[in-house]
């Protein structure tokens, strides 16, 4: 086990109301990503899965920082700003730039934490989960974004399971 059950910050559900359910399950998925990356140095976090894939735990952290930014800052809050870890020259910069450098790791975690904090504030302060943002030309409700984010983390946490097992044999949770 990664962590003893009495030390696990994730819940077993038990949320009341739509906002609490969606925010709670998203929080648990975010904590799972942190858990999968815990205790690893920069080299382990940047370790690629299998050639030719560029998938790594550090890449997943960087990717999820970009996804958080896109959906909460850009789509829902309407902020017009460049996406983290993506450029015209390298649309996969989140994974390609995940190198075994402690400064790159620290920056990735700081960016991810800042985006999560923004998203949590945004959701907590939203007057209604029917609040609508715009994804390109398509309107999208905050509740849809929350469900999408749960799905996005769940998918990538599955990747993180295999990546962590490859690094040090740890499985589960």
Q: CATH code at 87?
A: 1.20.120.450
Among the listed residues 9, 42, 37, the one whose alpha carbon sits nearest the alpha carbon of residue 153? 37
Answer positive or negative: Cα dihedral of 154, 160, 2, 65: negative
In a domain, 2, yes or no: no
- Per residue in 125-144, pLDDT (tens digit) is 999 999 999 998 899 999 99
In a domain, 5, yes or no: no
Has residue 158 got a pLDDT over 90?
yes
Cβ(160)–Cβ(57) below 8 Å: yes
Q: How many domains does the chain have?
A: 1
Residue 114 CB-density burial (10 A; 0-12 exposed, 13-18 middle, 19+ buried): middle
CA 53 distance to own-chain centroid: 19
In a domain, 26, yes or no: yes
- Per residue in 3-36, pLDDT (tens digit) is 666 766 766 777 778 999 999 999 999 998 998 9
In a domain, 1, yes or no: no
Residue 6 CB-density burial (10 A; 0-12 exposed, 13-18 middle, 19+ buried): exposed
Q: What is the pTM of this model?
A: 0.92
What phi and psi values does residue 78 have, to the nearest 5 degrees?
A: 70, 20
Instruction: Return d(Cα 153, Cα 41) in angstroms, integer.
Output: 22
- Per residue in 23-74, pLDDT (tens digit) is 999 999 999 899 899 999 999 999 998 888 999 999 999 999 999 999 999 9
In a domain, 173, yes or no: no
Give residue 57's domain range.
10-168
């Amino acid at each position: 086990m990664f962590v003893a059950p009495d030390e696990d910050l994730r819940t077993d559900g038990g949320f009341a109301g739509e906002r609490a359910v969606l925010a709670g399950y998203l929080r648990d998925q975010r904590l799972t990503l942190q858990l999968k990356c815990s205790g690893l140095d920069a080299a382990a976090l940047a370790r690629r899965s299998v050639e030719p894939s560029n998938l790594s735990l550090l890449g997943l952290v960087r990717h999820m920082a970009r996804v958080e930014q896109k959906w909460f800052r850009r789509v829902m809050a309407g902020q017009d700003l460049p996406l983290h870890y993506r450029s015209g020259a390298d649309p996969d910069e989140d994974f390609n730039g995940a190198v075994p450098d402690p400064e790159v790791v620290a920056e990735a975690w700081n960016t991810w934490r800042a985006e999560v904090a923004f998203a949590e504030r945004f959701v907590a302060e939203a007057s209604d989960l029917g609040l609508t943002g715009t994804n390109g030309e398509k309107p999208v409700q905050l509740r849809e974004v929350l469900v999408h984010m749960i799905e996005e983390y769940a998918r990538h946490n599955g990747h993180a399971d295999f990546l962590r097992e490859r690094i040090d044999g740890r499985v589960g949770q």
